[in-house]
Amino acid sequence: MKIEKMRSNMEDRLMKRMAAVEKRAEKWRAAANANHSHHISLVSHKAERMKATDDSSFHLPACFC
């Protein structure tokens, strides 16, 4: 009987620990997703600015001699 109770307690502790890990992982995934979305937004805005700005000061040479 005592062994069964110990086993039950260990299972409960393990389940609580696993739930905490899952919650932490979900927060990390959400933060990573938000960071990724923010980065994509910044890159998109930068690309739009580059398209809108006709930077004629930058030219590639025609010959690489």
Encode pLDDT of 2-57 as tens digits. 999 999 999 999 999 999 999 999 999 999 999 999 999 999 999 888 888 866 55
pLDDT at residue 62 is higher than 60 = yes
Answering whether pTM is above 0.85, one says no
**Predicted pLDDT of residue 12:** 98
- Domain locations in the chain as residue ranges: 1-50
Backbone phi and psi for residue 60, each to the nearest 5 degrees, phi listed first: -85, 140
d(CA 38, CA 46): 12
What single string gives the DSSP state of each residue in 8-26?
Answer: HHHHHHHHHHHHHHHHHHH
**Predicted pLDDT of residue 59:** 59
